[in-house]
Amino acid sequence: MGPGFSNWLTVMPSLQYLSLSFGHSIDFNTNVDPSDIPTTELQTLVTSLRPIQLQTLIIDRFYVSLPALTRLLSTQTASVQRLSLTRCTPEHEDMGSWCRLSSWAATNPNLTGFAFFGCEGEGVEEPMRDTSR
């Protein structure tokens, strides 16, 4: 995701739905060094999405840095109603990431749907879990 993506977003001020697939899925059973995987895409996304008020955000196959993801979500707290993380992996095998993210979802008054699917770090790959209120 480069400057072209940011430019594209500037001409889409009424964008409400965004689904992104990064392709950085990590299998910790192989000899992959997670520090070799770039996480700058998420920072670019955070900056690009500041003026956008999304209602639905789907993030697929991403190596998740919880602080970066939290920054992204904090820019969208007022508008995002549905969030889905599929096949994501927490940075540094931080198993508490999903618990903290679930806590964020539980306290966000606008969030009506929140789902995990196939995210590593919960021990097993789980089916879709919807926390619609």
Beta strands in the chain (DSSP E): 17-21, 56-60, 63-64, 82-86, 89-90, 113-117
Residue 129 and residue 102: Cα distance in Å, rounded?
11
pLDDT digits (tens), the chain, 133 positions: 555 666 776 676 677 777 766 654 444 444 444 444 455 666 666 677 777 777 888 877 776 666 667 777 777 667 788 888 877 776 665 566 677 777 777 888 888 888 877 666 544 333 444 455 5
pTM of the predicted structure, to 2 decimals:
0.61
**All domains in the chain, ordered by first residue:** 3-117 (3.80.10.10)
Residue 75 tokens read as 């820019």
Report the pLDDT value the prediction gives residue 77, as an integer from 0 to 100: 67
Question: Tell me, what's the pLDDT at 49?
Answer: 72
